[in-house]
Structure 1
Amino acid sequence: MENSVPDSEPTSRDSPLHDVHVAVGAAFTDFGGWRMPVRYGSDLAEHESVRTGAGLFDLSHMAEFMVEGTHAAAFLDYALAGAASAITIGRAKYSLLLAEGGGILDDLVVYRLDEQRFLVVANAGNHDVVAAALAQRRAEFDVAVTDDTDRCALIAVQGPRSVEVLERVSALRASFADLSYYAITEGSYAEATVLVARTGYTGEDGYELYLDAAAAPALWNDLVAAGATPAGLAARDTLRLEAGMPLYGHELSTETFPVQAGIGRVVALSKPGPFVGREAVEHGPAEGARVLVGLEADGKRAGRAGYPVLADGEVIGEVTSGALSPTLRIPIAMAYVDPAFAAVGTEVGIDVRGTAVPARVVPLPFYSRKALP
């Protein structure tokens, strides 16, 4: 089949919801080549709305690729690290796009819409990398890859009151409460088709809604009227950090093997046949390669990305993400450290602008909704 993945797109694009964000005074930042809302007011209030109510996110910067054809499952088994062929219709799986050398080109979610049709959702900043890799890897397969990024808007409703809010929108029709975690179904909003997935990136229950870009502003406004609180990228980052979820460019990169990031289980080494990166992953990273850990620190000064991690005054690692946790009210961080210092309970320090702040290795995630009342 003809490959329909286009050439690289220009950067600094606006979301189809941009005018809606401007109208309510959102502050913007460039993220992955898109101008996206970083906050609407208080980062802490937006974070709290997701933990206790229903937060509303514009994720239209994400990249969507439709994969269709008689070889769709076999193609994705070869192109990605996971076993796409094992995904049943209406389900989803977190997966990885690996380089030949075993490093991570992107992390993504794969939805199986029917027997020969998959939706692959990638990170905005890696759109061109993913498009090129899929185009190159499809050469031997009877499959079409269509880039739907510009036609598709993505709105997420996240938090314990998500179902309540969604069901208040009379024009939005889907089986929200009956949808299981990491499942997807087709619904509708007015005259538009909506793909409704019970997925998210916040550590809370929630839904992600894929629909035509032209219909997105009206749906966004209806969700706000139903009680959802708009939340920006700043809140999304502290939410995913508390949930111990890696972010590409911080915890994941082409220099990182999945096993180092604690996601080696995502690589389906049991699936038959070759896939890109298989030989390198089976060989593994270099001996002594750093591994990802969670850190909790004393006081209120949080380590940030790039801050050194210390032991006996020596640098033994580096923070990849860090913040003062709005939920736990303590400094937390994810960091890559030498394996000798990766055991839970190991005492280390974080160099916060010249001061060694005491910290300790803790299990990930820092926060789990199941562990709290």
Structure 2
Amino acid sequence: MAESSQRSAADLHSDIPVPLIRTPLFDLAINLNARMTAFSGWEMPVQYSSISREHQAVRSTAGMFDISHMGKFALTGNVLEQIQRLVPSDLSRLQPGQAQYTVLLNPQAGIIDDLIFYYQGDREGQQRWVAIVNASTSLKDKTWMLENLDTAELEFEDLSPTKILLAVQGPTAVNQLQPLVAAELSTIKPFGHLEAAVLGHPGFLARTGYTGEDGFEVMVDPDVGLELWRSLLASGVVPCGLGARDTLRLEAAMALYGQDIDDTTTPLEAGLGWLVHLDTKGEFIGRSVLEQQKRDGVQRRLVGLQMQGRNIARHGYPVVHEGKPVGEVTSGTQSPTLGQGIALAYVPTALSKIGQELTVEIRGKLYGATVVKRPFYR
């Protein structure tokens, strides 16, 4: 996928600005007077109308996001045996049409990226898989995977430059998408996916998302994506930017790579223990570290914080207990749905229990916060 991490070594050490990359939907965003921002080397809409309006649209009806900047890989061949070594999750449990959210791990069990593997089934004896990864780590992920996969056993195709990806999310999203798709979407379960005609053209649709709501992510050719965006817009689906995407995912306590998880955090520290299947799979990168953490426990955990009053904790703010800094906020916002400040933060395991009272330092003053169950919104 073409993004910021694809800059050459000369670019990285040059004073000449590197142009931001634009998705095929850029002009449509400009026509809708979207406010644009730089994100992982891309010029992306942060909002079209207002973050609160777009957030509320996804919670109450339907909104759509251009997520074409994300990395999109197709793997064909003897894939399962190869990718099992890259993740802590047992992908052998997947049936055709099912998917697994998981993480790529380094030898220290740090998270290289979080991603979704989609198993499409076999065709002529060849397994067919799709992987969708984060925009900021697309090149890193591709490099890591190719370094650790036997390319004599499989074919790896980077679809990122040639495909559009749209997320249609919200309680009415499926109904509004259905007239444009030549397959019954209501029968697809969460994390299910299928190949079907979208506006008469080949498409890949998955019942996945990053908002805490129902909906689909749709991968199609660029010209089809442009037509799909226009059709959904005409039917009343609200265009949404990165701002609402962030508040929605935080209410659902979904991790943002580079803030809540990174290559120094393990899935057990990040509250992603449900992705670690030590009992049902063999060797994988980082297994020994996770086995030790499972046995001895972790020193810190990612927790959800509910702020007292109208105070808002932001990324990087210190978390304090009994006058001493004990952690740091990784993500925080004022929840549009709940009307209160919410945050994620790493704290010592001893202070991670539900109901634990802590404080967050905001501009030199301490404000109360309580460890609460995640997600904040269900």
SS of the aligned residue for 1:177 comes to helix
CA distance in 1, matches of 2:192, 2:150: 30
CA contact (8 A) 2:199 2:228 kept: no
Task: Tell me whether 1:324 sits opposite 2:334 in the alignment.
Answer: yes
Amino acid paired to 2:153: D
Equivalent of residue 286 in structure 2, options 277, 286, 290: 277
Matches within 5 A, 1:241-252: 241-252=250-261
Say yes or no: does 1:153 pair with 2:164: yes
Match of 1:96 in 2: 103
Q: Find the residue that maps to 1:96 and give its secondary structure.
A: strand
Q: Tell me the TM-score normalised to structure 2 length.
A: 0.92
Matched ranges for 1:1-373 at <5 A: 9-10=6-7, 12-69=20-77, 71-115=78-122, 116-139=127-150, 142-169=153-180, 172-284=181-293, 289-368=299-378
Provide the aligned length of Structure 1 versus Structure 2. Answer: 362
Give yes or no for contact 1:168–1:226 (8 Å, CA) kept in 2.
Answer: no
Contact 1:184 1:197 in 2 (8 A): yes
1:350 offset after TM fit, Å? 0.7
| Matched residue, 2:10 | none
Q: Distance in 2 between matches of 1:112 and 1:94?
A: 12
Q: Which moved more, 1:192-201 or 1:283-292?
A: 283-292
CA distance in 2, matches of 1:156, 1:288: 35
How far does residue 85 in structure 1 lie from its aligned partner after superposition? 2.2
Q: CA deviation at 1:132?
A: 0.7
User: Does the aligned pair in 1 maintain the 2:90–2:281 contact within 8 Å?
Assistant: no
Contact kept? 2:73, 2:131, Cα under 8 Å: yes
CA–CA separation in structure 2 for the residues paired with 1:39 and 1:226: 20
- Counterpart for residue 371 of structure 1: none
Provide the C-alpha distance between the structure 2 equivalents of 1:306 and 1:177, rounded to a whole number of angstroms: 41
Secondary structure at 1:261 match in 2: coil
What secondary structure, in the 3-state scheme, does the structure 1 residue paired with 2:216 have? Answer: strand
| Structure 1: tracts of 5 or more residues without a match | 369-373
Q: Is the 8 A contact 1:91 1:111 kept in 2?
A: yes
Identity %: 38
Cα RMSD over matched residues? 2.0
What is the alpha-carbon distance in structure 2 between the residues aligned to residue 223 and residue 47 of structure 1? 17
Separation (CA, whole Å) in 2 of partners of 1:173 and 1:27: 34
What is the SS of the residue equivalent to 2:267?
coil
- The residue type equivalent to 2:59 in the other structure is R
AA of the residue aligned to 2:21: R
Deviations 1:35-60 (A, max 9, x none): 11110011100000000000111110
- 8 Å CA contact 1:39, 1:235 repeated in 2: yes
Q: Matches of 2:70 and 2:305 in 1, distance apart?
A: 29
Measured in 2, the distance between the counterparts of 1:46 and 1:233 equals 10
In structure 2, distance between residues paired with 1:315 and 1:9: 38
Q: Is the contact made by 2:97 and 2:121 (CA closer than 8 Å) also made in structure 1?
A: yes
Change (3 A) 1:272 1:347: closer
Deviation at 1:269, TM superposition (A): 1.5
Aligned partners of 1:174 and 1:196 also within 8 Å: no
Q: Is the 8 A contact 1:96 1:267 kept in 2?
A: no
- CA separation in 2, counterparts of 1:210 and 1:98? 26
Q: Is the 8 A contact 2:61 2:172 kept in 1?
A: yes
In structure 2, the residue corresponding to 1:351 is in which secondary structure? strand
SS of 1:284 mapped into structure 2: helix
The CA distance in 2 between the partners of 1:291 and 1:51, in whole Å, is 29
